Structure 1
Amino acid sequence: MFRKPLISLVLATAVALVGCVTINVYFPEAAAQKAADQFIGNVLDDSGVARPADGDKAPAKPATGKQPSASLLDLVIPQAMAAESPDIQVRSPETDAIRERMKSRFGGQLKALFDAGAVGFTANGLVVVRDAGSLPLDQRSQATNVVRDENADRDQLYAAIAKANGHPEWEPQIRKTFAAGWVERAPSGWYYQDASGAWKRK
């Protein structure tokens, strides 16, 4: 007779603890995707990187195609989305400076390297020289330096966004979200690695 209230209390405590853990580890994926898309679009579009013909129309279509799912998410977790969205869309002197450096690289040598197929996106949100042989000998070390600088900024960016949200442990998820975003926004003909590490061409 006395055991039933005790069991109920234990179960209620366990449920409350699980609820707290879920809230603490919640990663706002939809907000992160939106922030990544805005950042990447700003870098690529403003640096003059041409997008595919069908990709040019993509920003207009998601307004009707993606809105229902966004509204559904807002109904399910409206407070979480409202709280997390501004944090994920972080704007700071650090991230602004990174964005400007990335624009400069894509507007210069990096776009040419992607167009030539010499470099590609990795599955973890970085850039790598995939075919140094496609470059003249005197340009290879310069390409390596450009890729090194780009990756230093990318590592700094993903860490900065995670820290700005008060969750440094989110860095791998932010990195993964951005990795998918770079490929999604890339022009056709650019190379990227899939999850297994195999090279594919868009």
Structure 2
Amino acid sequence: MKKRLCWSSLLTAIGMAACVTINIYFPAAAAEKAADKIIEDVWEQDATTTPAAPISPVEQEGLSSSPGFAWRWVFDLLITPVAAAEPNLDISSPTIKRITASMERRYPKLRPYFQSGAIGLTQDGLVAVRKAQEIPLKDRTQVNQLLAAENNDRNALYGEIARANGHPEWEAQLRETFARRWIQKAPPGWWYQNAQGQWVQKR
């Protein structure tokens, strides 16, 4: 009886995992990888790296001895190959390359204003004036034009990546991914908006 229940539970777990693999889902890991590549190209040496913290041997031993580890192993066995086979998002279309090149050319002009705190990164993946007083009066028109052009490129970029990969419905999720990665890869001292829309200086 116990053996029958065990097999029944195992089959249930396998069935649930199989359902997970056939669902169409937003490829979050691939989106982050694509965002990081574009951000690093645009910001060059200014983009910071945020590697994942490795699991220590002690933590690994604790995980492997936990009661749920066997079931997690079943899920990982079935789902991991699918995730590993997940293709990268295509960011090589001519339009994406043109937008990225435009942002690269503009960045050296925006960089001093990011560093001074005059402008910052918004919670929706754009840029905005944070403290106009930090911008000399004679430069404000030019800075506003630069910000408008940058935001036009960023909006176009998120939509074009979604379309280039055959899923225009992914645009909002791509925007969220880029918004998060712009902030995470920004150098210390830059300003960004938190989830409440408040300006915060990165440490």
TM-score w.r.t. the length of structure 2 is 0.73
Verify the 8 A CA contact 1:122 1:179 in the aligned structure 2: yes
Verify the 8 A CA contact 2:96 2:160 in the aligned structure 1: yes
Tell me the residue number matched to 2:132: 132
Tell me the residue number matched to 2:33: 34
Report the Cα distance in structure 2 between the residues aligned to 1:169 and 1:152, rounded to whole angstroms.
Answer: 19
What is the CA-CA distance between 1:158 and the residue it aligns to? 0.1
Tell me the residue number matched to 1:170: 170
Tell me the residue number matched to 2:157: 157
Distance 1:73 1:119, change over 3 A: farther
Q: Deviations over 1:43-85 (max 9, x none)?
A: 111xx53x5xxx4xx47x55x839x9xxx979624335534x3
TM-score w.r.t. the length of structure 1 is 0.73
What is the CA-CA distance between 1:170 and the residue it aligns to? 0.8
Q: Residue type of the partner of 1:96?
A: K
Q: Residue type of the partner of 1:193?
A: Q
Distance 1:23 1:140, change over 3 A: same
Q: Secondary structure at the match of 2:23?
A: helix
| Identical residues among aligned pairs (%) | 42
Aligned ranges 1:110-129 → 2 under 5 Å: 110-129=110-129
Tell me the residue number matched to 1:65: 54
Q: Deviations over 1:114-147 (max 9, x none)?
A: 0111110011100011111111111111110000
Verify the 8 A CA contact 2:91 2:97 in the aligned structure 1: no
Tell me the residue number matched to 1:95: 96
Tell me the residue number matched to 2:7: none
Q: Residue type of the partner of 1:35?
A: A
Q: Residue type of the partner of 1:152?
A: N
Verify the 8 A CA contact 2:42 2:100 in the aligned structure 1: yes
Report the Cα distance in structure 2 between the residues aligned to 1:194 and 1:164, rounded to whole angstroms.
Answer: 30
Verify the 8 A CA contact 2:120 2:192 in the aligned structure 1: yes
Verify the 8 A CA contact 1:74 1:81 in the aligned structure 2: no
Determine whether 1:82 maps to 2:81. Answer: no
What is the CA-CA distance between 1:148 and the residue it aligns to? 0.2
What is the CA-CA distance between 1:97 and the residue it aligns to? 1.1
Q: Residue type of the partner of 2:35?
A: A
Q: Residue type of the partner of 2:192?
A: Y
Distance 1:173 1:34, change over 3 A: same
Q: Secondary structure at the match of 1:39?
A: helix
Verify the 8 A CA contact 1:31 1:81 in the aligned structure 2: no
The two structures, once aligned, show a CA RMSD in angstroms of 2.9
